[in-house]
Amino acid sequence: EQMVFTLATTRSHDQYNTTIYGLDDRYRGVFGERRVLFINGADIAALNMKAGDWVDLESLCEDGVHREARRFLLVDYNIPRGCLAAYYPETNALVP
């Protein structure tokens, strides 16, 4: 059975709106990478995965269009269970 999550998108420290100036996010301790998925550690364990694993994302929309964003690095983060966060515009492909 697949787990379903709610995704929030956010900007990094080195970003102004959709303009990306660098690959670092000092606010969240991420350096040299933007394709990251912030997830609760208990959710990582429930998925039988570990922080540092790579995952692909799919959105659930009832319009018949398949939407995915590939290759995101799992980052254990203090976020509520069942919720995810990732940077945009990297996750824009998931939005109808």
Residue 1 lies in a domain: no
Provide the domain count of the chain.
1
Long-range contacts formed by 24-31: CB under 8 A, 24+ apart:
25/87, 28/75, 28/77, 30/75
Residue 64 lies in a domain: yes
Q: Are strands 15-16 and 19-20 parallel, antiparallel or unpaired?
A: antiparallel
Residue 24 lies in a domain: yes
The share of the chain scoring above pLDDT 90, in percent, equals: 78
The answer to whether 34 and 18 are in contact (CB under 8 A) is: no
Higher-scoring residue by pLDDT: 16, 72:
72
- Structural domain of 63: 6-91
User: What CATH number corresponds to the domain at position 87?
Assistant: 2.40.40.20
DSSP reduced 3-state for 42: helix
- Report pLDDT digits (tens) over 41-63: 999 999 999 999 999 999 998 89
| pLDDT attached to residue 16 | 85
Q: Against a cut of 0.85, is the pTM above it?
A: yes
Residue 27 lies in a domain: yes
Residue 96 lies in a domain: no
